[in-house]
Structure 1
Amino acid sequence: MAHSTPKDPMATPVLIGGLVLIGAAVAVLVSNLFSTIEKNSIKGEIDTTSQVVAMDANLAPIGKVNAVDKSIVKEARSGEAVYTAVCAACHTSGVLNAPKIDDKGAWDARVANGLDGLMKNATNGLNSMPARGGDPSITDEELSNAIVYMTGKAGHDLSSQAKPAAAAPAAAAPAQAAAPAAAAPAATAPAQAAAPAATAPAQAAAPAATAPAQAAAPAAAASAQAAAPAAAASAQAAAPAAAINGEKVYKGICFSCHDVGVAGSPKLGDKAVWAPRIATGAEALYATSLNGKGAMPAKGGNPALSDDEIKAAVDYMVAQSQ
């Protein structure tokens, strides 16, 4: 007789419930997996906002340049006005070891060089002080006024060393030019009248002798006149280049980028970076510096610099990076 096992009526519901729970658990795990991947994945391009902000900060101008039309004569500002507009930023609080306006001890050694010595430093720049305090529109007279004002506040009177304005020679020049012109006709008239009478016999007596000399003189004079402008032009072109200190120009503006390599600029002294640039030749480097390239503005951002000054700075950087 066969033995039969009775079926449990709860077996099927329990089995189905277990499968449902397992399926729900798997669904929750898959959902969490996709959620985690979604949250930690990067979509699109990399966010470069912070890099752009840092680059803009590095390239921000450290000053301003005032373009001046030197053909327009303006009234010189007083020493106090120049000091307030330009010099006060450093000389009021002694920024970067600048002598404070009321510090007599700090000015003593400087005043010993006289007004001319102080003018030379202020005109060309010294240490951290840029040329003309960073404002190329300041005239020599205004710069002198500012120095006299600052040293006066420190107890030193340099007003007696100040040079007078150069307006008188300019006014006297037309008078000097007019006086010889007015006197010339009266002085030369008798000589011109007497010359034909004196020279007529000589011209009649020696036409054959004077003809070769008269023919040769214009040729010699023409050669001398043609050679003189060429020699003068060469001297004028060579003089500015020899007188410019490329290192001073570099330390006045170029260092801000080329000392640390801002925005990919070649660092001073980095031979590997400079080698391919030097290989392009001096004229190519000059053109890039004068016209600007990439993040570097034309003339380093200072249009007041002359072409020769820019070229001198380039020559200095090349010499330091070879």
Structure 2
Amino acid sequence: MPGSQEENVAHSTPKDPMAKPVLLIGLLLIVAAVGVLVNNLFNTIAKNSTKGAEDTTMQAAAADANLTPIGTVTAVDKSIVKEARSGEAVFNAVCTSCHTAGVLGAPKIDDKGAWEGRLGNGLDGLMNNAINGLNSMPARGGDPSITDEELSNAIVYMTGKAGIDLSSQTKTAAPAAGTEQAAAAPAEQAAPAEQAAAAPAEQAAPAEQAAAAPAEQAAPAEQAAAAPAEQAAAPAPAAAIDGEKVYKGICFSCHDVGVAGSPKLGDKEAWAPRIAAGNDAMYNNAINGKGAMPAKGGNPALSDDEIKAAVDYMANSSK
């Protein structure tokens, strides 16, 4: 028998074909929303975390540089005797320019035979030659600031490198200093008498000062008038360096006689191609060295500006 009318209606109800797609889309939206929320959570944690904070090293360094003092003041006690440089330090500063390569017959630092031929009078003979100069070697190696003790140290160092020990012939200056002080004491004690004798002359000074006062009072007006001209004539700091003085301190030992092909001072033909190359090229060669010429003429204590001033002096004198 056929079923009832209600049963037939229930079995004949068609299924909705969009139900599953809609369900899947809804699930995907929910998953995407959860993913966005989780991502935002991790981003928030990362931003608020101190790990991986911005590197402020450069800012700190810039702040320290801004706080650095513009200059410093060094107090020097002149009663303390300056410590003499070691023989190696003096050699590297001055002597190396000739005694490393044996320029103009100078004994090389490690040539024992060359040094033995000069030891006829021992260390004193070598010291006499170094202090006063010999042949092409200038007095004190061209640096008048070198003390006798430093010269002695340099000679002992060079001969020691050649296998000759002269350290036993060195002299100590301390006892002599004590003797000088003892000898000076009587002269100091006699000073009160000299001061007493000089008193009448000093008492006459007020009258002389009073006579000179009108002339001195006129000086401020003259100084005020001369001040603008002096300010206008003030040279730049670089121009204040005396190139001739630097030249005569060290450069002359080679450039006066043309050692190892160096251009002689005043030789226009030798200097012409160097001047044509420009100042920067000449400065670079003098500062860094070229061929047999050591950097800064063998004296690294000289500043770049001093070397440039010496080059300008030589070039201008050779045009």
Instruction: Name which one, 1 or 2, has greater alpha-carbon Rg.
Output: 2
TM range (shorter): 0.3 to 0.5
TM (norm. structure 1) is 0.34
